[in-house]
Amino acid sequence: MKNLAPKIIRQRLLIEAKYTINVDKEIVKKFLLNLTKELNLKTYGKISIHSTSGEGKQINQGFDAFVPLIDSGISLYVWQNEKFISCIIYSCKNFSTEKAVQFTNNFFKAKEIVHEEF
């Protein structure tokens, strides 16, 4: 992909995992707060968490969440019935991919995890 804004730092990471813990709204909030601390990223607004319970297809039930960062944001999508998460970290400040993946793996007690920078 052509870099249209070479003067702007942009680091993007997609992490997906099959998890083993029970996830509810409080767990989603705790994950996002602790991930930002782990990566030394600063928030400037409240975490937004939406439950998809009762909306759409049964397989898609779970949570959609976002935490705004001073240097961009983190989105988390949770499929409770499938015990699957998809997390996108988009930052204009560099962070450790290794720390992000390891923290996510440990937090969710993942039985399988993949990641890709883009």
> pLDDT digits over 63-111, tens only?
999 999 999 999 999 999 999 999 999 999 999 999 999 999 999 999 9
Is there a contact between 2 and 42 (Cβ–Cβ < 8 Å)?
no
Fold category of 21-117 in CATH: S-adenosylmethionine decarboxylase (3.60.90)
Which pTM value belongs to this model?
0.94
Q: How confident is the model at residue 1 (pLDDT cuts 50, 70, 90)?
A: confident
The DSSP line for 44-113 is -S--EEEE-TTSS-GGG-EEEEEEEETTEEEEEEEETTTTEEEEEEEESS---HHHHHHHHHHHHT-SEE
Domain-wise residue ranges, the chain = 21-117
Mean per-residue pLDDT of the chain: 95
